[in-house]
Structure 1
Amino acid sequence: MLLPALAVIGGLILLVWSAERFVEGAAATSARLGLSPLLIGMLVIGFGTSAPELTVSALAAGQGNPGLALGNAFGSNIANIGLILGLVAVISPLAVHSSVIRRELPVLGVATVASALMIVGGVINRWEGVLLLLALLVFMVVSIVQSRRGSAVPADALEADTETELAAHPMTLRKGLVLTAVGLALLVVSSRVLVWGAVAIAQGFGVSDLIIGLTVVAVGTSLPELASSLSALRRREHDLVLGNVVGSNLFNTLGVVGLAAVIAPIDAGVEVLQRDWVIMAAMTVLMAIFALGWRGRPGRINRVEGAVLVAMFIAYTGYMISLVAQGGG
C-alpha cells in the first residue's frame, strides 16, 4: 500500500505543477496568436484548469475504471465550489461584475440537469457522451462568435482581470508553445501514475473507484484551480476567480464526463444521483444565487456565504471518508 500512496502523492504534485505550466503556456500562446483576453478568460484559463480532470478521467476510462472518471468530474465540481470558491470568499468577499459569468451560470445549470437525466438510466452510454461533447463544442463556438462580433460587453470585468493575469506572466510565442507542450506531456505522465495509485488504493481498501475518484483524486485534480484562484485573489481579480470555477465545472460536466463515456460507458449507481449529484446540484444553485444576487442585491459572495459552501464541502467529504474507512461505497 505504501507504493500506491507514494504514487498518488507524487502524481498529484507533478499534476499540479504541470497543470499550472500548461495553463500559463496556453494562455500566453493564445494571447500571442491574437485571441481576445475575454476568450482567454472564458475558455483557455477557465477550461484549461480542468486539464488534470480530463487526462485523469480519460486514462481511467481507457484502463477500465470509468467510475473513477465520473467520481473525478463530480467530485472536482464539488471541491471547486466548496473548497476553492468558498475558501476564497471566506478570505476575501468576492464581488461579481462580469456579465459573461452571469451568462455562463445558467448554462452550467442546464448541463448539471442534463447529467442527472443521463444518470437516471444507470449508465451514461457512448451516445450520451457524444451529446455532452457536442454541447460543449456548441458553447465554445457560440462564445467565440459572440466575442468576435463584439456582442459581449466591451469592458467586461472578466476581460480586465484576464489582461492583468496575462501581464503578470509575459512570455514569447516560442516559450508559450514549449511550456504548453511540456505541461501537457507531464500531465499525461502524472495522470498515469495517479490513476494507478488510486486504483490500487481502492482495491486495497475494498472500496469502489468511484469513491476514490470523488475524494482523493477529485481534490487533487482541483488543486490547479485553487492555485490559480489564490493567485487571482492576490491581484483582486474577483471575476477571474469565479470564472475559473464556473468554466472548470462546465468543462468537467460536459467535456470530462462526455469524453470518459465515449471511451467506455459509465455505470452510475443510484447512489450517484441521490448522494453525489444532489450535493453538486445544491452547491451549484447556491453559487448561482450568491453570484447573481436577488431582489436588488448585487452579485457577491460574502464570508458567511463562503463559509456555508465550505461547511457543505467538509460535511460531504467527511461522510465520504467514513465510507472509505468502512470499506463501503
Structure 2
Amino acid sequence: MAYFQVVAGLVLLVVAGDYLVRGSVSLAMRAGLSKLVIGLTIVAFGTSAPEMLVGVDAVFKGAPTLAIGNVVGSNIANALLVVGLPAVLAPMTCSAPKIGRNLAIMLGASVVFIALAQDGAFTWVEGLMLLAFLGMFLVFSIVGRKACPVESAAQMAEMEELDRKPDTYKVAFLCLFGGLIGLALGADMLVIGSVDIAREFGISEAVIGLTLVALGTSLPELVTGVMAAIRGHCDVAVGNVIGSNIFNLLAIMGVTSLFGTVPVPDSFLRVDLWVMLGSSLLLVPFIKLRSNVGKLSGAAMIALYIGYMVYLAHSSESAAVMGLHV
C-alpha cells in the first residue's frame, strides 16, 4: 500500500501541478500581466508547487527531515541526472544568454543555504531570510530581462504555457482549484507512503527524501530535459535546472520552515550539503567556457549520481544494523 501511495502521489503531483500552472497563467494573462512577469513568477512558483506542498505536508506529518532531504536531493538529481541523461542523447548547450549569471546566483544561494544550516535547523527566521533572497532574485531577474527585451522574448517563447491562448475564467478557475486540491492530496499520499517505507526498512525520512522523494519530484525536470535534447533546445534544459535549483533552495525551504522547524541531520552537514554544492560546481567549467556537456561528461555525471545513491544505500544499511545492535 505504501508503494502505491508513493507512485499515485507522484503522478497526482505532476498532473495537478500542470493544471495549477495552466489555470494560474490563464488568469494572469487575462488580468493583463506581461509574459515576462508571468514566466518569472507564476510559472516558476507553479512548477515548484509540488515540492513545496510535499515539504509543508512533511512538517505537519512530523517528518520535517524529509523536506530538507527533498530539497537537497532534488538539487543533486537536477545537476547530475537531469543534465547528464539528456547530454548522453545530445550535447547540452551552455551558451544561453545570462546563464552564467544565473549559475552564479544558484551557487550563491547554495552557499547561503549551507551557512544557514550550520546551526542545525531551519526556523521561521531562516525561512524569512531565504524568502528575502528570493524576492531580490525575482526583482533582479525582471529588471535584467526588461533591459534585454530581445533575449527575454526568446526565452519566454520556450514556455509552452505562454504561447497558448488563455482559457476562459471558468476553465481557469477549475484548473486552479483542481490543481491545488490535487497537489494537496498527492503530497499527502507521497509523504505518508514515504514515511511508511522508511519505517518498514528502518531508515531515516531524510534518506527517503534524498532518494525516493527527490528523484520522484525531479521527474518533470528530467522529462523536460530529455524532450529538450530531442528537440535540440538543450540550453533551455540547463536553464530550467538552474532556475529549479534556485527555487528549491530559496522558495521551498523558505516557505516550509515558516510552518515548523526543519532540523538538519548531522549527515547533511558532513556529506550531503557538500555533495549538493559540488554537483552544482560541476556545471561551472562548461558554462564558463561556453562549451557543450557531451556524451562522455553526461555519462560521468550519471555515474556520479549512481555512486551517490550507492553511498546512501550503504550508509542507511549500516545505520539500520547499528540500530539493531543497540
1:161 aligns with 2:158: yes
1:252 aligns with one of 248, 251, 266: 248
Give 1:318's aligned amino acid: V
Q: Which runs of 5+ in 1 are unaligned?
A: none
Corresponding residue number in structure 2 for 1:271:
267
Q: Distance in 2 between matches of 1:165 and 1:239?
A: 18
Q: Deviations over 1:55-94 (max 9, x none)?
A: 1001111222210110010011111121212111111112
Residue 21 of structure 2: aligned partner:
23
Query: Which whole-Å deviations, capped at 9, do the CAs of 1:5-36 have from their partners, x for residues lacking one?
Result: 22112111212222233334444554554444
Distance 1:315 1:237, change over 3 A: same
* 2:131 partner letter: L
Partner of 2:209: 213
Q: Is the 8 A contact 2:71 2:252 kept in 1?
A: yes
Deviates more, 1:88-97 or 1:225-234: 225-234
Conserved? CA contact 1:293–1:300, under 8 Å? no
Normalising by structure 2, what TM-score?
A: 0.88
The corresponding residue for 2:69 is 71
Deviation at 1:209, TM superposition (A): 0.8
Query: Secondary structure of 1:99's match?
Result: coil
Moved more, 193-202 or 151-160: 151-160
Q: In structure 2, the residue corresponding to 1:249 is in which secondary structure?
A: helix
| C-alpha spacing 1:28/1:97, structure 2 compared with 1 (3 Å) | farther
- What percent of counterpart residues are identical? 35
Distance 1:287 1:317, change over 3 A: same
Give the aligned partner of residue 293 of structure 1.
288
Q: 1:91 to 1:131 in 2, by over 3 A?
A: same
Counterpart residue identity of residue 257, structure 2: A
2:170 paired with 1:172: no
RMSD: 2.4
Aligned to 2:180: 184
2: CA distance, partners of 1:99 / 1:15: 31
Matches within 5 A, 1:135-150: 135-147=133-145, 150=146
| 2:121 corresponding residue in structure 1 | 123
Structure 2 Cα separation of the partners of residues 279 and 28 of structure 1: 39
* TM-score, normalised with respect to structure 1: 0.87
Q: In the TM superposition, what is the alpha-carbon distance from 1:270 to its structure 2 partner?
A: 2.6
SS at match of 2:257: helix
Is the deviation greater in 231-240 or in 206-215? 231-240
> Is the CA contact 2:29–2:166 (under 8 Å) kept in the aligned structure 1?
no
Shift of 1:219: 0.6
TM-superposed deviation, 1:43: 3.9
1:9 equivalent in structure 2: 7
Q: Which of 299, 310, 320 is 2:312 aligned to?
A: 320
What CA deviation, in whole Å up to 9, does each residue of 1:292-316 have, x standing for no partner?
Answer: 233xxx2432222222221111111
Q: In structure 1, give the amino acid aligned to 2:68.
A: L
Q: Is the 8 A contact 1:45 1:244 kept in 2?
A: no
Q: Distance in 2 between matches of 1:78 and 1:86?
A: 11
Describe the shift of the 1:165–1:19 C-alpha distance in structure 2 as closer, same or farther (beyond 3 A): closer
1:225-282: CA deviation from partner (whole Å, max 9, x where unpaired): 2233333334333232122211111011111112222222222133102211111101
Q: 1:172 to 1:24 in 2, by over 3 A?
A: closer
- Residue pair 1:47, 1:247 contacting (<8 A) in 2 also: no
- Counterpart amino acid of 1:60? A
Write the letter of the residue equivalent to 1:244: N
The one-letter code of the counterpart of 1:225 is E
The 1-side partners of 2:296 and 2:41 are apart by 30
SS of equivalent to 1:154: helix
1:310 aligns with 2:306: no
The answer for the alignment partner of 1:54 in structure 2 is 52
List alignment gaps of at least 5 residues for structure 2: none
